Structure 1
Amino acid sequence: MTTHNQFHGIADAVRTELASVTRLAHINTFHPGAFDWSEAGTADELNYVSTVAYGEAGHEKQAVAYLTKELAQLAEIERHVSAVMTMVMGELHDLRDPINVGHELHNALSCFASEEIQHANTFYRYVRALSGVEPRVDKALFDERFDVFRTDDHPYVKLVALCCSAYVGESVITVFEHRADALDPQRDRFFTRLLHTHGLDEARHVKIDHVAMKLVYPALTAHQQQRVRELLSQIEELNRRLAEAFQAATEQILAVDFTTGNPAAAVQLEMTKAFGSKVFAPDGTLHTVDEILDDELSAVITAFSGVGRVHAAGIPPLSPEVPALAGAGQ
C-alpha cells in the first residue's frame, strides 16, 4: 500500500530535477512547422538517407522503406506514450503526495506528452514526404497497448513502466542522431535537422526517464516494482507485435526488402536487444544504458555513430565535435 510518506524522502530531488529539465522546454523544442518540407524527398536527400542506413549511396529504395517502417512505427509508439501519460496525469489529479504538489511534475509530464504527439505528427508527415505512403496496421494495436495501463496500479507504477518502455527506443534513436550529426556535422541535410530537433526533446525525455528510474522506482514497494516489470513486459510484447506488423505492411506497400544487408537495421536490433535485456538487472534494480555498456557494445556504437556513449554527461546530444564517419559527403 502506498502511504503519503512513501515518497517524502525523494520529493525535493524529483521536483528540483524536473524543474531543471524543463526550464528551456519552450525554446529547445520540436514542431512540424519548423521545417521546409520541400527538402524532404529530393534526390540529394535520398542519397543521404542511403548513406545513413547503408554507409553508401545506391540503396535509396531500401533506405526509404527502412525509414518509412521505423518512423511510422515510432510515431505510433510516441502517440501511445502521450495518451498514457495524459491518463496518468488524470489519475494524479487528487493525489497530494510530496512529489505531486506545486507545478513541477504536472509541467514535466504535460511537456513530455505534448512533445510526443508532435513527434508522431511530424514523423508521419516525414514518412509521407519521403516515400509517398503511410503504412496503416490494425489500428496500430492502440486499444491493446492502452489497455495495458488501464489498471488499478498506483499512477507512479504506470509512469515508471511507461518511461522504461519508451527509454530503450529513445536511446536507440539517440545513437542514430549521433550518427547523422557525424555524417553531416553542419546539418545541411533535412534528415539530420529532423533528428537533431527531435533530439532536443528526447534529451529532456531521457532525463525524465532517469528521474523515474533512479528516484521513483526505488521508492516503490517490492510489489509495486514487480508490477512495473509486469506492465513493461506486456507493453514490450505488444510493441514487438506492432513492429512486425509495420514491417510486413511496409514491405507489401513498397515491395522492397529493407532488412537484408542493412547495417543500420543490424546495429539497431543489436542495441535494442542489449538495452532491453540489461536495463533491468537480475535483482530488479534499474540501470541507464550508459551504465550497462560493455566494451563490445560500446565498440559497436562507436563504429556506427562516432560516440562511445549514449546519454552520458559531458556529451551533448548531437555534438558538432563528433568525428566524421566513413561515407560522409557521398
Structure 2
Amino acid sequence: MQKNIRNFAIVAHIDHGKSTLADRFLQMCGAVDERTFRNQMLDSMDLEREHGITIRSHPVTLSYQDYTLNLIDTPGHCDFSYEVEKSLAATDGVILLVDATQGVQAQTITNLNLAQRLNLLIIPAINKIDLPNAQVETARRELMEILPVFENEIYLVSAKTGQGVPELLAGVVEKIPPPEGDSKKNLSSLVFDARHNPYLGVDLYLMVREGRVKKGDRVILMGGDISSEVMEAGIFKPQMEPAPFLEAGMVGFVTLNIKDFSREFIGDTLTHQNQPAEKPLPGYRKLKQFVFCGFYPADGESFPVLKDSLARLHLSDPSFSYTEERSAALGVGFRAGFLGMLHMEIVQERL
C-alpha cells in the first residue's frame, strides 16, 4: 500500500559515514545475509572500493515491519553533487548526516540546500558518536544553527557499532511522508538514472509518480519521443530483481530495447504510448563544467571504440560533456568537460 512506502536518501559530506549507515539499514531489514554481506555493500563499482568513496548513487528497496523503504545512498564529494541532485528528486525526505568529529562541513550545507529547494523533509543525525574525539555537543549546536530543529530532534548514532540506528530508522518511518500519486491515473514517471544493458539495451531507474507500468507495456520517453516495449520491470534488492509491476510511489527500473545512446535519458518522463501523461515532469538543471581535457585514441582505428565508450558513459553520467575536435598533431578526438579534477580522473579510469 502506498501509505506504507517511504522514499528517502542519506546525504552528507564525504567520509561522514553514509555508506556504513546504509550497511546497518540493510542488515537490520534483512536485505542481505551475513554470508554475502561486505562493508560498503551498495558501493558496487571497483573504483568506489579502490578510492574508498561513493561515486554513484545506489537505490535499494528494504522491508521494515509493514513498510517498504526505498533508500538511496549518495556520494559525498562535491564533484559528484549531480548524483545527489538527481537522486533527491526520487525521494520525499533525507537523513542529513554529520560526523561528530568534524561537524558541519561545506558539502553538508550544499546537500541541505538541495533538499530544501525540493521541499524534502530533513532528519538531522550525528554519526560516529562512539569515537573518543567525538564532539557531539559542538556538532549538535552547528546543526541547530543551519536547521530549525530542537536538540531532542537530532538523532545520535554510530553507524559502525549500530548504536542509535534502530531509533533513526523508526524516525524515518514516523517522520517522512508517504509518496503522493494515484496508481489509477495515466503513467508518469521520472527517469533519475540510466545504465547500459549489454544484452537488452538500457536500464532506466524510475520514480513512479502516477499510474502503473509492467513488462510488455508500450512506453514512450516524452523528451525525445522515443518509444519501446518494456522488456523487464523490477526493484533493487539491492541487485535488480523482476517485479510484477511498478506503481505510484515505487522506485524501481525498467529495461527498454533502445540501442541509441546519443541522447540523454536522465530527467526525462516515461509514460504509456497509448495513454500518455498530460505533461512531462520537471527535469534537472544543466550543470556547468569547470575542468576540461582532450581524449584522443592511440590510433585512428580506435576512434569508433572511444566514441561508443563515451556515449555509454554519458548515458549514466550526463554531468560531463564531450564534443568532437581535431588536432593537427593528434588527429580526431574529443574535448570533454567535468565538474572537477576528481570527476575527470574517475571518468578517465572508467573509460
Give the number of the structure whose alpha-carbon radius of gyration is greater. Answer: 2
Larger strand percent: 2
Larger helix percent: 1
Whether these two folds match at TM > 0.5 is no
Q: TM-score range by the shorter chain?
A: under 0.3
- Larger relative contact order (Cα-Cα within 8 Å, sequence gap ≥ 6): 1
